[in-house]
């Protein structure tokens, strides 16, 4: 345990204020893997899943990202089992808007009455009176976006949601949502090997929005022996995954990586990425490698 005034491992990644008023440690934890195969059903070891969450908090993680569709419902239930009553600084972000019909199957449903129901049920499962960050998991193309964002804005006005975020959206979709209510974050697929959301990240930077990259550790060919990621990792005495996370943290101060795992040892390895400092040349080398 860190001594008084000493930063915990995750805290070395720095902080970001969601919406300007909600500080979180930048290196968070994504709770999707606290479920069974295909993000469906119970985890192999529910006790280990609880231990991962408790260890994350011990290491200084105070931003946990989940969704009602993880399990479904299993991830939220385990978070409450492991961490309730929550510490004052802990921020739990969840999502609504995807329905599950089986392992690996995801379907957007954005009817306002459904979104309202799911937010209410997330509040109950997480044992919260207000969700700090509620993200629309996907925009349902069959429902007007204004209706989907509008019901979340209504629930924010009712005090059930503090801040609203979006997931897998374009810049145009963010701007449309921002014309209806305040948006504080966006969660898109983004990692060292896949930067198709670069324009969205640059927009988030300009507007001061948190950018939460999901699937943050994909390394692919870069991690092969002799590749740029493996070579620089060896120089740092780190793993390629830690380098991939360090690159994200260096990429922009608005980036909030949320690596997930179902094992305590893997969690500790991921959090240690906060201590890896890339030189300018190393960052540029990795940036240009894809």
Catalytic residues: 70
* Terminal C-alpha separation, the chain: 39
Q: And the tokens for 239? A: 């793993």
Please state, in angstroms and as integers, the Cα–Cα distance from residue 38 to each residue in 32, 72, 168, following that order: 10, 11, 19
Q: Round to whole Å and give the CA distance between 241 and 1.
A: 24
Q: How many helices (H) and strands (E) does the chain have?
A: 10, 11
As a whole number of angstroms, the distance between CA 158 and CA 221 comes to 48
Which residues lie closer than 8 Å to 270 by C-beta, 6 or more apart? 27, 217, 241, 242, 245, 259, 261
* CA 82/CA 102 separation, integer angstroms: 26
Buried-state track 87-116, b at ≥16 Cβ within 10 A, e below 16: eeebbbbbbbbbbbeeeeeeebbbebebbb
78 vs 257: CA distance, rounded Å: 21
């Amino acid at each position: 345990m860190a001594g008084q005034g000493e930063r915990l491992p995750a805290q070395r990644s720095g902080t970001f204020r969601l919406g300007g008023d909600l500080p979180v440690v930048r290196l968070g934890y994504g709770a999707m893997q606290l479920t069974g195969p295909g993000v469906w059903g119970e985890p192999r070891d529910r006790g280990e899943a609880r231990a991962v969450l408790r260890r994350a908090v011990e290491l200084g993680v105070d931003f946990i990202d989940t969704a009602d569709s993880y399990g479904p419902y299993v991830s939220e239930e385990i978070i409450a089992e492991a961490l309730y009553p929550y510490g004052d600084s802990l921020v739990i972000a969840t999502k609504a808007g995807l329905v599950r019909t089986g392992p690996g199957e995801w379907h957007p449903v954005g009817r306002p009455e459904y979104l309202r129901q799911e937010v209410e049920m997330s509040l109950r499962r997480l044992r919260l009176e207000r969700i700090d960050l509620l993200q629309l998991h996907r925009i349902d193309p069959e429902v007007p976006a204004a209706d989907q964002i509008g019901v979340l804005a209504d629930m924010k006005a009712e005090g059930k949601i503090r801040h609203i975020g979006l997931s897998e959206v374009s810049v145009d979709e963010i701007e449309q949502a921002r014309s209806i209510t305040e948006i504080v974050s966006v969660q898109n697929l983004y990692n060292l090997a896949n930067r198709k959301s670069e324009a969205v990240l640059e927009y988030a930077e300009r507007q001061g929005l948190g950018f939460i990259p999901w699937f943050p550790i994909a390394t692919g060919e870069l991690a092969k022996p002799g590749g740029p990621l493996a070579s620089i990792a060896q120089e740092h005495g780190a793993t390629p995954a830690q380098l991939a996370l360090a690159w994200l943290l260096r990429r922009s101060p608005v980036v909030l990586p949320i690596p997930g795992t179902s094992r305590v040892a893997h969690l500790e390895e991921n959090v240690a990425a906060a201590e890896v400092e890339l030189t300018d040349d190393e960052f540029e080398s990795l940036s240009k490698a894809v």
